[in-house]
Chains A and B, each alone.
Chain A
Amino acid sequence: MNELNTLFDGIQCTNILDYLNPLRYISHDQYMIIMKNLFNTILQGFWSKLLASASLFLAFFFGVYRQRIGAGISLYFLAIIIAYGGGLAKTLFGI
């Protein structure tokens, strides 16, 4: 009986996880194009500059002005990732 329950749970879980899989709704190629566009938008060009500047400004605001050092450091690292991540992704993965 226990084995049957476990099997039943397993089947349900698999179905729920299937719903979360984006490849159920779109093809692999389409998904790759969307992700590529997302990376290009976030890590390159105008939006990356805006996001990185906002992160750096907020890092100073939270870290220095509000003295919430943890939030300041996290935002600072986010600014670094946005600034240099695009170049790194291009070099390593050709995105």
Chain B
Amino acid sequence: MSSRDQGDRSGNDITPVGVSASTRPKSFIDVVSIIEGYFLAEKDGNSLPSNLLTLKGKIIISEVGFKGAAVSGIISILLTPFCVGVLQKCIPIFGSYEFTLFDEAFAMALTISFALGYGLIIATIGKYYIGNLSKRAINWLMMGLSAACALKIVIAFVLYNMLYVLVLDPHRTARFLLKFRPHVSYGTLDRIYTILMEFKPILLTSANFVILTTLLMICVPWIFIYFSSRRTKKLIKREEMWK
């Protein structure tokens, strides 16, 4: 056996780390390193046993995707009405009611950037979307993310519509505000009432706007994963040609 063959064989001796309770991934970075391990082991055409990724491992990986998307979902649910309010010229941005194109674009960017940023972070694992096991791990991660996104759409839709129909009902809001009458002046209460009533229609637009940002969060990682995996495949082929 030549020394080169020996070197190749030793290069393939990579033991991927399975997802067990002792190495339970807590953050996205932990999941990346696990997938990276699978990728390095499978890179040279080695096939790993499919049961290396156990049911528990799949659930743990999807849990990480779910958690990240859930945090992003909460932020997007809180910020969307503000963005729509700026676009409909009801809520001030940079302390001004004179809205420029920059202001509107910035409000939009601010709302979608968390989902976009998280999508881009997830997309960095796209280059490992090659082997059977790494593909399965990434699919499970994305499944967790998609489940959280679906839940986010439902929660946002229910929450905004509930606020519109039940909480911000004109009579109910007026009755509630009048409870503060002995402590707060009528003028202030009237101003708060007007602001709340102006804010009300924004909630309905926000419910649909959330769907748009969620689609972005699901589509961006898949697009990047597709292109970067193609690039990695090309690089691997080129490496094999030069061997």
Contacts and interface: CB of A to CB of B under 8 A. Distances in A.
Interface of A: 40, 43-45, 48-49, 52-53, 56, 59-60, 63-64, 67, 69, 72, 76, 79-80, 82-87, 89-91
A79 B110 contact: yes
Interface of B: 28-29, 79, 82, 91-96, 102-103, 106-107, 109-110, 113-114, 117, 120-121, 124, 195
A56 B110 contact: yes
A40 B94 CA distance: 10
Given A49-B94, A87-B93, A87-B95, A67 B29 contact: yes
State the main secondary structure of chain B at its contact with A: helix
A60 B95 CA distance: 24
Nearest to B113: A56
B95 A59 contact: no
A14 to B, nearest CB: 36
Given A49-B106, A67-B29, A83 B117 contact: no
B121 A63 contact: yes
Contacts of B103: 49
The interface centre, meaning the residue of B95, B102, B114, B120 with most chain A CB atoms within 10 A of its CB, is B95
